Every structure is written in structure tokens, then in C-alpha cells.
Structure 1
Amino acid sequence: MSTAILAVDLGKTGCRASLRIDGTERARADGPGAPGLAARDGVAAAERAVTAVVREIDLRAMPFVLSVGAAGAASAPRARIEFARLLAGTPAVTAVAVTSDAVTAHAGALGGDPGVVLTAGTGAVVTAVDPTGRFTRIDGWGPLLGDEGSGGWIGLQGLRAALRGHDGRGPDTTLAAAAADQYGPLDTLPTLFGDHENQARLAAAFAPAVAAAAAADEVAAEIMSAAGHALGRAVLAAIDRGGLAAPVPYAVTGGLIELGAALWAPVDRILGGRVEYRTAHGRPIDGAALLGADTTTALEPLITRIS
């Protein structure tokens, strides 16, 4: 009998679903993300996001395993359990697997092998797994307490710099004009962000503009350099805390890959010979599919399962 797995990558920016039958993708859907399970009403928002993409896929009443990597699951284990229980009520679901999107990113990037994975998107987290299966997580603390170097962090620093320049509290920067072009008059930014349900996602949308400005704007260049240093330090912390021997297999996933040398050159300088760069095998959603099918990986203790 064919095995159907609906893999879901639920981030703060977007929610992606992929129906896999015997390992082959048969359908996919995309929708908005959720603030994270650790956020206020995070479980309800996550359920709405997953339900929306599940509805977009024609499951033809076939039984399926629902495997979800969700932002905030690592820092909110009770919410993760509550979320899994809610998903278990989805029609035709035979089993549910819920874990952190950082865990599915590691599984997707290194295919279950030991090593370190930097996931850099709206948020930022580094995960490491040693040969015995011991798991280490660095950062991923959300936009208020961490996620340093992430898209949300870069965008927020860029907007703060734009407002400092606008006020005369800081140096002139082209980021002020870029922010006005993207969001409207700078005086309206507090209202815009105050009314938005996902402020990190809204800020992260400005990260590409900051990266683009870095070639000619000193303020933007300093922000990108600081972001790269923050990400590099997080990777080194994961290596050191995880006790991994150099050179450590290392892969990067997430939307910030597209930001180019302004971000990644500082990261590479910090890491030096400590890592062995590997192209990611797959995406976080591929990791969710893998973990939905395989209950024997070293990551199993980090997964909440209901069947």
C-alpha cells in the first residue's frame, strides 16, 4: 500500500505543503506563515496556516501522515504538543509528527547526517547534531530576544537606521528613501508595524533592500557586516557547544542565501577552516517529509508524534 505523507514547512513568513507518495511529490501548496508557536495565540495561528494549505491539496480522502516543522516549536514544547493534538483531528490523518522548523531544516540539509546547519530566513537558528545524535540549538529565540543576523533583524536594523537619518540622530543613508519607497512615508511606520500581525515578516521584507544598498551605502554595509558576524558566531557556538571536530559538515538553508556576498563574505571569514561546506541536500520541507516517514533518525527525541 502506498504511503502518503503531507509535509509542511511552517515558518514566520510562509507556510508550504508538499504531498509525497512513496517519496515522489504529487502536489504542493503555499500560504502565509504564522508568528511562531511561542507567540501569543501562536498555536491557533499555526493551525490556521496549516489548515489553509491542506485545503489547497486534493487528498482524495486518502489516509496520510501529517509531518510539520513549525517555527517556535523548540522553545515552546507545551504548545508543540497542543498543536500536534489539534492537527490529529484533521480528516484522514493517520499520524502526526510535529517538530521545530530548525529540526526539519537540519534533516533536509544534511539528510540525517551529523553536522551543523544554519537556517537563515525571517528568523535565524543554528542546529548541530554529533555522531551520537546529540542535538544542539543556538539562537532561534524570536525577533524580540534573538534571531540575530536574520532577515527580520536586518530589516529592522535598516529601518531603525532610516529613521535615525530621517530625524537627524544618525548619518544620512539611502535606506531612508528605500524604506519610504517600500512602506510609504516614514512617519507612518509605527502604525504600519503596530497593526501588522507578523512584524518580523514585515521587517524581513526590507532585508533585500539593505543588502542591495550595502555596495554603496556605509550604513547598510555596516548592518550587513554585523549580520554576517552574528550568524558566523552562532555557527561557531553550535560547533563548540556540540563538541564537533573540525572540519564540521556545514550547510545553509533559508531565504537569506539570496542576499549575496554582503552577508555571506563575513560569515565565511569567521568560520575559516572550522567547517566543510556542503550544498544542502534539500529544503526544510524535504526534512519534514523524511521525518514523517522515518522514526529512527537521531532527531527522533525532538519530535512529538500522535497516531
Structure 2
Amino acid sequence: MTSHILAIDLGKTGCRGSLRVDGSQTGYAEAPGAPGLAHAAGIAEAERAIRAVIDQISPKPATFTLSVGAAGAASAPDAAALLARRLAEFADAVAITSDAVTAHAGALGGSPGVVLAIGTGAVATAVDAMGRFTRVDGWGPQLGDEGSGGWIGMEGLRAALRAHDGRGPQTVLAEKVGDHYGIDLDALPKYLGEHHNPALAAASFAPVVAAAMDDTAAAIMATAARALGRTVRAAIERSGMRPPVPYAITGGLIKLGAPLLDPLDQQIADAIERRDPLGDPIDGAALLALDRTTALEALVTRIL
């Protein structure tokens, strides 16, 4: 029997969709992301983003399974369940879980280990040999996501404003704000306050911080690496797995390269056994669409 799967990776930065027929991609689309299911408008924004992706994919099969990894689903399971019911209106079957879960499934294929997913947000997930699931951070920009793109970008913007005020050391980041956003520093609070997704707006500044060659930017990157290292170590410790633990890293923030990844590796080298990711979160969503035997199954909300 032919399988039609529309796998969705819904993050705070972007929403990606891959239509797969018997495992082969036949369609792909992207749209802006959503602020997360724990956000006040999270369900509506998530549905908007997913529908925007679906509308771009053509031709769509008459029947398909919709599998979604959504930011914030772990923190807001009731919202995830409501979103699943809404999506069931135009899909024959729906599977929804956290984007952290799909990142783990994509990176390690359902095998035990730890996966660090870093993008606009940051979360580490661990699955042991018994299928027990541990999640560390991923609490969103107000309460967590330490070391993430949103966190790095916001720290860079704070440093720029401190320099602007004379409260902190001078930094090239102050002039980079205008280059990046096309606004004066005095207009930055209004710009972020009116943005529909402030964490996303801040995260776009993270590559600027990583590329800056001064002490202030280097200190931000080092602090981010330490925070991410603590997140990985906490996931290992709480899971009860004995180091070295199979480990993979995934997410858009890996594009920052050495300024972030080198100090991060130094923080966790003795605790991990590095693995190249088998796939990305969208591959994980495709896997979980049909495979109900993985250790992650209890974390998936399904509507048939």
C-alpha cells in the first residue's frame, strides 16, 4: 500500500513541509514559523504556518498522514491536542509531538542517546535503552532556551544598548544593529515590541554576534557554549545513562560554526560519543508518522 506522508517541522523561525510518497520526497515548501504552542496565540499561529506550507505543496494526494513536530508541544500538551483536532479536518491521520522529539528521532533514528537541538530555541532530549524520555530546557525565551539563537541575539542587543548608554564596554555590535535591522538603537525596543515573534527577531542577530571580532561578542558566545554544555550534561545525568553517551547536535544554529561549537565541544567532550545525525527534524516527523514502535511513541498525539 502506498504511503503518503506530509512531514512538518514547525519551529519559531520557520515552518518546513516535506511530502513523501513511499519514503521519497515529491514536494517541499517553507513558510514563516510560529512563536510556539505555549504562546497565547500559539495554536492559531501554528495552524497558520502549517496551512501556509500545505497550500504551497502541489499536487497533494487525496489522502495523507500529517506528522508535525511543533515548538512548545512538550510544554503545552493540551494545545498540541487541540491543534491535532484542527488539523484532522484536512488530513486522514494526524501525529503531533514536540519538535524536540522529532529532532531526536531524526538524529538518532529512535535509538538511545542525547540530542541537542539548537535554533531560535534550545533543548536537549535523552532517551535511554528502556525508552525513558528526558527533556532539558526548551522553556521558551522568557524562561529558558539558554545558549539558543534567540538568547545569543538578545544578549548581543543588550550589549549594544549598554555600549550606547555608556553602561558597558564599547562593542562593534552597537553599529551592527543599524546595519542589520536598518534602525537606530533608540528604535530597537519599539521594533522588538511590535514584532510578532521577538525571539525570532533577536535570533536573526545571532550570526552577527558570532561573526563579530571583539571581546564582548566572544564573551557572549563563550557563555552560550557553557549554557548549552550544562544543558547536555543535565540531560545525561537526569537520564541515568552512563557516559560516554551517543550524542548528536542538530538545528540551524550549528551554522554559526566554530565560535559556538568549539567551546561547546570542550564543555562536553568527556561525556559524549559523537554521532553524525542520521537526519533532521523533518526526517524524524516522517519516521514517527508510520513507525509506532520507537521509544518516543508515548510522546506522540495521534488522531486517526
Q: Could you tell me the TM-score, scaled by structure 1's length?
A: 0.98
Equivalent residue number for residue 131 of structure 1: 129
Map residues 196-211 of structure 1 onto 2, 5 A cutoff: 196-211=195-210
| Aligned residue number for residue 186 of structure 2 | 187
Gapped runs of 5+ residues in structure 1?
A: none
Letter in 2 for 1:35: P
Match of 2:262 in 1: 265
Cα deviation, residue 284, structure 1: 0.2
Q: How far apart are the structure 2 equivalents of 1:159 and 1:195?
A: 16
Counterpart Cα distance in 2 of 1:55 and 1:136: 35
- The separation in 1 between residues aligned to 2:174 and 2:41, in whole angstroms, is 33
Distance 1:272 1:43 in 2: 39
Distance 1:85 1:296 in 2: 23
Q: 2:145 aligns with which of 120, 128, 147?
A: 147
1:60 to partner: Cα distance: 3.9
Distance 2:270 2:229 in 1: 12
- SS of residue in 1 equivalent to 2:142: helix
Q: Secondary structure at the match of 2:269?
A: helix
Partners of 1:61 and 1:146 in 2: how far apart?
Answer: 40
Q: Is the 8 A contact 2:4 2:61 kept in 1?
A: no
Once residues 150 and 60 of structure 1 are traced to their aligned partners in structure 2, the CA distance between those partners, rounded to angstroms, is 35
Q: Distance in 2 between matches of 1:79 and 1:8?
A: 17
Q: How far is the alpha carbon of 1:272 from its aligned partner? A: 2.1
| Structure-to-structure mapping, 1:173-252, within 5 angstroms | 173-183=171-181, 184-213=183-212, 216-252=213-249
Correspondence for 1:20: 20
Per-residue CA deviation, residues 262-301 of structure 1 (Å, 9 max, x unaligned), is 1112211111221011110101000000000111111000
Q: What is the aligned partner in structure 1 of residue 273 from structure 2?
A: 276
Tell me how far 1:62 sits from its aligned partner: 2.0
Give, in whole Å, the separation in 1 of the partners of 2:188 and 2:285: 36
CA offset at residue 61 of structure 1? 4.2
Residue 290 of structure 2 aligns with which residue? 293
Cα deviation per residue 1:223-252 (whole Å; 9 max; x = unaligned)? 000000000000000000001111100000
Paired position in structure 1 for 2:72: 72
Distance 1:255 1:53 in 2: 19
**Mapped partners of 2:245, 2:155: distance in 1:** 31
Match of 2:40, SS state, is coil
3-state SS in 2 of match to 1:136? strand
**Contact persistence 2:125–2:134 (CA under 8 A):** yes
Partner of 1:114: 112
Q: What's 1:256 paired with?
A: 253
Matching residue's letter, 2:209:
V
The SS at the match of 2:74 is coil
Give the letter aligned to residue 133 of structure 2. F
Contact in 1 for aligned 2:10/2:71 (Cα 8 Å): yes
- For 1:152 and 1:172, locate their aligned partners in 2 and report how far apart those are by CA, in whole Å: 22
Please state whether the residue corresponding to 2:69 is helix, strand or coil: strand
Structure 2: distance between partners of 1:22 and 1:283: 18
Which residue identity lines up with residue 159 of structure 1 in the other structure?
Answer: L
Runs of 4+ that moved beyond 4 A: none
- CA pair 99-167 structure 1, distance change in 2 beyond 3 A: same
Distance, in Å, in 2 between the alignment partners of 1:61 and 1:130 is 37
Q: Identity over aligned residues, as a percent? A: 63
Question: Separation in 1 of the partners of 2:201 and 2:52?
Answer: 20
CA distance in 2, matches of 1:62, 1:280: 33
> C-alpha separation between the residues in 2 aligned to 1:189 and 1:207?
16
Amino acid at match of 2:168: G
Instruction: Give the Cα–Cα distance (whole angstroms) in 2 for the partners of residues 202 and 227 of structure 1.
Output: 18
Extract unaligned runs of 5+ from structure 2. none
Give the TM-score normalised by structure 2: 0.99
Match of 1:105?
103
- Paired with 1:88 and 1:167, the residues of 2 have a C-alpha distance of 52
Asked whether the equivalents of residues 7 and 286 of structure 2 are also in contact (C-alpha less than 8 Å), the reply is yes
